[in-house]
Chains A and B, each alone.
Chain A
């Protein structure tokens, strides 16, 4: 199966990160994969070698969710969140916080789904309390050991413009 276009990442303003990605599936399935407690553990989580071991979702506005990941050496990491807004198959707005308060404040994540010809574009906006927090989060994500590759200066200029 052909892969969709790679994810596009932009830093928006001082406090936001915007991620845009296409999926070869209708919006209702993308929404389901994003909100169903049996499906979320199969893909959510950025750390290689970590598994989601707890996933509880109370899917309603004001409802809570809880995700816990652990690695083979007994380390674990959790997120507690709340659904702020839910528009089925279109929009998910959440507010979440990590168990270990290694950065200040919450993250507000907005996922917008738009479907065209069976292809769904998901635009995720992550809003942090300050630029410092946002940049620290990005730095720590990179420190999680993800392989780094060179992507070209032009793109950065464009991204930052």
Chain B
């Protein structure tokens, strides 16, 4: 994976407005004024964000020469996602080892509880040597 592209992608994603723009474009292409509509921002301000996204290769200008709609380019986002997935998996692997440790602790507790129950039952059957049982009779 290209580290420069990854930095570009994540720098572009660092801003909440740009993330919102990408979310909007994930649902279909949109013009600059359509993209600006949900934000209390001027069109030039939105255009600045679009330039950052464009430079990072996350969006492109669509076919219509007049409306110049922007569309999402999925590949860099998918690559960034792969990168996050690798990180997630590193954690998942150690948590799976923790699953095994926990399963063992629970099995041990169940064994201990059984042993205790067994000991209690043994004590109960041996009534002659049990002063409490003697008193209850």
Q: Are the CB atoms of A29 and B102 closer together than 8 Å?
A: yes
How many interface residues does B have (CB within 8 Å)? Answer: 41
**Chain A to chain B: the 7 pairs with minimum beta-carbon distance, closest first:** A43-B97, A25-B102, A142-B86, A156-B81, A46-B90, A148-B86, A43-B98
Q: Judge if A139 is at the interface, Cβ distance under 8 Å.
A: yes
In the assembled complex, how far is the CB of residue A116 from the closest CB belonging to chain B, in whole angstroms?
A: 16
Contact among A1, A44, A160 with B13 in the assembled complex (CB-CB below 8 Å): A160
Mark contacts of A36-56 with chain B using CB atoms, 8 A cut-off: 1 yes-contact digit, 0 otherwise: 000100111110100000000
Q: Determine, out of B18-26, B32-40, B62-70, the stretch whose residues face the partner at the interface.
A: B18-26
Q: Are B94 and A139 in contact (CB under 8 A)?
A: no
What residues of chain B have their CB less than 8 Å away from a CB belonging to chain A? 1, 3, 6, 10, 13-14, 19-20, 22-23, 26, 74, 77-78, 80-103, 105-106, 109
Q: Identify B105's interface contact among A33, A144, A153, A157, CB under 8 A.
A: A33
**Given contacts A156-B80, A160-B19, are A148 and B95 in contact (CB under 8 A)?**
no
How extensive is the interface on chain A, given as a class? 35 or more
Q: How many A-B residue pairs have CB under 8 A?
A: 125
Cα A80 to Cα B13 in complex, Å, equals 32
* Pair A14/B106 contact, Cβ less than 8 Å: no
- Interface residue ranges, A against B (CB under 8 Å): 1, 3-4, 6-7, 9, 11, 14, 19, 21, 23-25, 29-30, 32-33, 39, 42-46, 48, 131, 135, 138-139, 141-142, 144, 146-157, 159-161
New contact pairs (11) apart from A44-B94, A160-B22, CB-CB < 8 Å: A7-B91, A29-B106, A33-B101, A33-B105, A42-B101, A46-B93, A146-B86, A149-B89, A151-B82, A155-B81, A156-B80
